[in-house]
Structure 1
Amino acid sequence: MTWQTTLTVIDLGIAVLTLTLGVTKAAAARRERTLVLSLTASVLLHAGVVFLLATPPLYRAVGSALHAPNLPALAIDVATLLCVGHAHYMALLWHPERHTAQARRRAVRAWLPFYTAAVTAMVLLYASAGLPQAARPLRFAPVYAQNPAVFALKAVYFSALVVAVVATMSLCRQVTLPDRPGLARDVRRCMRWFAVAVGLDLATAVLTLGSMVGVIVRDDHRYDFLADASWVATILSGIAANQSLGRLVLTATKDDRRDCHALGPLHHLVVAGARHLVIPTGRWNAQIRLTRMMMEIRDGARTLTPWMSDRPAAAVDDLLRSAGPPTGGPVDPLAAQDAATLLHAAACRAAGRPPAPAEHRLHTLPGIDVPAAQERAHLVRVAQHLAHPLVSTALRAADEQAVPPTAGR
Structure 2
Amino acid sequence: MKPEPEPQWGFFGHRRINRLAVFALPAELIPFYKQNIEYITEHAVDPDKRRYATRHEGPRHFIDLDQYGKAPFENLPRGWNEALAHYTDVYLVDLRGDTVKIIGEGATRFENGRLLGAENNRSIGLQGISTKDYQTFYNQHIFPQYYEDIWQVEPDSLAKVLGITLPCRSIFAKDRLSEHGVLPYNLLHMQRRLTDAFYTRNVAAILRLSAEIGHYIGDAHVPLHTTKNYNGQLSDQIGIHAFWESRIPELFADKAYDNFVGVAEYIRDPQAYYWKMVLESNSLVDSVLLIEKRLKQSLPQDQQFCYEERLGVTIRTQCTAFAQAYQEALRGMIESRWRASIQAVSSAWYSAWVDAGKPDLRKLNFRPDEKELEEIKALEASLKKGKIQGREHE
The TM-score range, normalised by the shorter chain, is: under 0.3
Higher percent of residues as helix: 1
Which protein has the bigger strand share?
A: 2
TM-score by length of 1: 0.20
TM-score when normalising by structure 2: 0.21
Higher relative contact order (CA 8 A, sep 6+): 2
Larger C-alpha radius of gyration, 1 or 2? 1
